[in-house]
Amino acid sequence: MKTSMPLFLLRSGCQLFQFALLNSFKLIF
């Protein structure tokens, strides 16, 4: 469990980062 937790957080973090990036691009353009 301890080893799989960081991976899960990293994956969800990447998804959140991509989502925020897309939203910021929509706001700019």
Structure tokens at 25: 């691009």
Report the distance separating Cα 27 and Cα 29, nearest Å.
Answer: 6
Tokens found for residue 18:
């991509």
Instruction: Give the residue with greater pLDDT, 4 vs 27.
Output: 27
- 17 Cβ neighbours under 8 A, 6+ residues apart: none
CA–CA–CA angle 5, 11, 17 (5° rounding): 130
**Residues 5-28: tens digit of each pLDDT:** 788 888 998 899 999 999 998 887
How confident is the model at residue 27, as a pLDDT? 81
Q: Which H or E run includes 7?
A: helix 4-28
Provide the pLDDT for residue 7: 84
